[in-house]
Amino acid sequence: MRGVSGAKRHPPAQAMIRLSHFEAFNAVMRSGSMTAAATLLHTSQPNISRAISRLESETGLKLFDRLPGKLQPTSDGLALFEEVRRSFVGLRQLTEAAHRIHRSGSGILRLGSVQSHSLAVIPRAVKLFSDTFPEVTISIHAAHSDVLSRWVQEHICDFALVSTTPPGDAVEREELYNIDAVCILPPNHPLVRKAVITPADLQGQPLITVPRGEQIREMFDKVLQDAGVDVNDVVQTPYSSIACALVAQGIGLAVVNPFVAMPYLQGDVVARPFLPAPTHSAILIYPKGKPKGRPVKNFVAILRQLIREDHMTIKGRVQV
């Protein structure tokens, strides 16, 4: 059967139409002429004319009626332009997304932290990160170190800040810091006059301690045992930030991580070196074998900078 005159030609089923043809069509529709479209695309009018002709041939659509002095879009041309316009909006969004990803990454940064740091350095790092990379949403998970290690292994967290790590090589590790504990006291306590606090100074003093069973408590008990000192636990809490707040209320003394005590060292409490001291560690852990995305790298860089600055402040206020 012979084809009916004027029927639309259909493009090959798998024909791939060049994006540049759609770009030329979009420019003509937006500017109103091939000459103006050529100016928009920094090309020549014959190139635009050829692109439109090829697009019509490849789609089987008549896109324009050629009238004297102007192009008149056909109904097919108007219908195709609606699709092209929506697609080009999507392309612009993709381009913007690519620029955002190149700059800072995108999506959600899922970080974990032990409670002590989730109330201390982490909020400050989040503030700096969000100001610099507002496109990235941050999800914060606070838990004990062993729980955070499991979450990192299960990719629930992109990385975590912990105080202890599991044995073996289930996660990748980077040390953030390792620092001696300090003794914090109410500002009016008699021991403030001492330059260094020793285990013997704690004899008979009301003390705020970590519960037994925690690794840092085992280290502290070893220091006390070696010195032959028994202490008077008036409060036990696993959270160093709570211990600092209790000292600020005059309830007792505590031997704590100086990075956690930082917010309280502006008059609420006084810190003195404690010797011999148990040590506090902060370790960054990552999923094994997973590349670190740009958001993770950027956040960790901010975190390390804050730790360096805080370390200098601690040296000045604790005089260690």
For the chain, which domains are there?
19-104 (1.10.10.10), 108-177+282-313 (3.40.190.10), 182-277 (3.40.190.10)
Count other C-beta atoms under 10 Å from residue 13's C-beta: 5
Rama region for 168: left / alpha / beta (φ>0; ψ in -120 to 50; rest): left
Q: Are strands 270-273 and 182-185 parallel, antiparallel or unpaired?
A: antiparallel
What are the beta bridge partners of residue 286?
172
Span 115-144, pLDDT tens digits:
888 888 999 999 999 999 988 899 999 999
Sign of CA dihedral 308, 314, 319, 320: negative
CA distance 39 to 45: 8
CA distance 133 to 130: 5
CA distance 190 to 309: 30
* pLDDT in the model for residue 6: 44
3-state secondary structure of 229: coil
Asked if residue 8 has pLDDT above 70, the reply is no
Question: Cα angle vertex 25, ends 20, 27, to 5°?
Answer: 95
Q: What is the mean pLDDT of the chain?
A: 87
Smallest CA-to-CA distance from 239 within 114, 78, 146 is with: 114
Range name among 81-90, 146-155, 253-262, 291-300 with the lowest pLDDT average: 81-90
Amino acid sitting at position 202 = L
